[in-house]
Amino acid sequence: MMEVTVQVEATVGSRVAPDHEPGPAAWPSAHPVLDGFPVGEGFVGDSLTPNGEPADVLVLMEEPALPGTVRARPVALLHASVDGQPVDEVVCVTARDPRFEEITDLPGLQAWHCDDAALEALLRRLGHGCAWQVVRCEGAAGAEEFLSDAHHTYERLTGCID
């Protein structure tokens, strides 16, 4: 499994609900994403995507992170739109965290109740005032290929080949 270093810029607390739902109390109490785990937002520093920016990442974590770095492993790639513009977001879990060891791919993420509606709610909360929509999701293989391509682009364009 691939691991990356994510530069976390912000962490959203656990009380997230989609706009069309009455609130967290309406969700089953075991809904981890909406009822108990923070999500970090950041990027992978040694990557460049086709839009010329580092790869954007959401990290499911047990504890909120202060701005800084965390080791994470990709489990999904979201193809979304924000205000009608295409955006790719890599969904990761913190690396070597026993709470997330069973989440290795998209089916594990979905079994953990992290569906499109929950992810859209998180994206709306992180991207204040923007209209987010998840268009489709790919599994870990797609996320790893996306990050690998972004890393190779970074190396090629910066000359920073390891």
The number of folded domains in the chain is 1
Q: Report pLDDT digits (tens) over 22-58.
A: 333 333 444 455 455 678 889 999 999 988 999 999 9
Q: What pLDDT is attached to residue 93?
A: 92
Q: Is the model's pLDDT at 20 over the cut of 50?
A: no
- The torsion angles phi and psi of 12, rounded to 5 degrees, stand at -95, 135
Which of 135, 30, 20 is CA-nearest to residue 88? 135
Q: Report pLDDT digits (tens) over 90-122.
A: 999 999 889 889 899 988 888 876 777 777 777
CATH code of the domain covering residue 34: 3.90.80.10
Which of 109, 48, 47, 98 is CA-nearest to residue 74? 109
Average pLDDT, the chain: 81
Q: Report pLDDT digits (tens) over 54-92.
A: 999 999 887 777 788 999 999 999 998 888 899 999 999
Q: Tell me if 48 sits within 8 A of 42, measured CB to CB.
A: no
Q: What pLDDT is attached to residue 115?
A: 75
Q: Which domain holds residue 67?
A: 4-158
| pLDDT tier at 161, thresholds 50, 70, 90 | low
As to burial, measured by CB atoms within 10 angstroms (0-12 exposed, 13-18 middle, 19+ buried), residue 140 is buried
